[in-house]
Amino acid sequence: MATLSPLASQFVTHFGEMGSRWGINRTVGQIYALIYISPQPICADDMAETLAFSRSNVSMGLKELQAWRLVRLRHLPGDRREFFEPVGNAWETFRRLAEERRQREIEPTLSMLRDALLQAPQTPEDAHAQARMREMHDLIEQLTAWFDEVNRMDVQTIGKLMNMGAKVGKLLDFASGRSRKAKPGGTSDASDLSGTEG
């Protein structure tokens, strides 16, 4: 395996530093970054040599990346070694990281909040605390529902949605303004926006 170029080395180093903020440690982040930018599948021995990591650290890192479903195993014809390549593109990487973090961090919080909201408050302070918990519960549920909807979209649709940017906010502001101005018994927002007006 060739020595990393300054450009590749910068990316790998930075990805390792950022990894801990995304829920994976520095070593695992660097291993993934190397696999991600490699033009062909890469074996563990080459990873260890390139990154100056021990073979055992690389093996543990690969197991974690497989558990996160970020890399997949490949066997090359005529070579008994195990090679690895990234699963999908940059958007797929983001999706998988977000989904894993949701399962590890968001779902336990949501479960705790659900249990807390089922309890009968014993004091006014408990009632206040429970009301605040409900706000948090409802927000998290709304965000996770939105994430599920986005996660079901194909990459092209997501790209179009992201490119709309502030236009979505303007559309919602427009709909809200039409709703406020609507007279009793008038048309709904949906019909206003559907282009059925004369």
Specify the pLDDT at position 166: 63
| 193 within some domain | no
Specify the pLDDT at position 198: 39
| 148 within some domain | yes
**Do residues 187 and 198 lie in contact, with contact meaning Cβ atoms separated by under 8 Å?**
no
**CATH number of the domain within which 53 lies:** 1.10.10.10
The answer to whether residues 31 and 54 belong to one domain is yes
The answer to whether residues 25 and 97 belong to one domain is no
Phi/psi for 119 (5° steps) reads -80, 145
The answer to whether residues 10 and 83 belong to one domain is yes
Q: Which two tokens stand for residue 124?
A: 């006014």
Report the run of H or E that residue 54 belongs to, with start and end: none
| 183 within some domain | no
Residue 2 binned pLDDT confidence (cut-offs 50, 70, 90) = low
Which residue range forms the structural domain that includes residue 16?
6-87
| 161 within some domain | yes
Q: Choose from 1-5, 101-105, 159-163, 175-179 the range with maximum mean pLDDT.
A: 101-105
Specify the pLDDT at position 172: 67
The mean per-residue pLDDT over the stretch 98-113 comes to: 86
Which amino acid is present at 83?
F
Task: Say which DSSP state 150 is in.
Answer: H
Q: Which two tokens stand for residue 10?
A: 């910068």
Per-residue pLDDT tens over the stretch 89-103 = 788 778 887 887 788
Q: Which two tokens stand for residue 34?
A: 């190397």
The answer to whether residues 95 and 78 belong to one domain is no
**pTM for this one?**
0.64
Strand-pairing partners, residue 71, are: 86
Mean residue pLDDT across the chain: 83
Of 182, 101, 185, the residue nearest 147 (C-alpha): 101
Q: How far, in whole angstroms, is CA 123 from its chain's centroid?
A: 39
The number of distinct structural domains making up the chain is 2
Q: Among 87, 113, 140, which residue terminates a domain?
A: 87
The answer to whether residues 115 and 52 belong to one domain is no
| 197 within some domain | no
Per-residue pLDDT tens over the stretch 15-47 = 888 877 776 789 999 999 999 999 999 999 999
Residue 163 binned pLDDT confidence (cut-offs 50, 70, 90) = confident
| 12 within some domain | yes
- Strand order from edge to edge, sheet including 42-43: 42-43, 83-86, 71-74
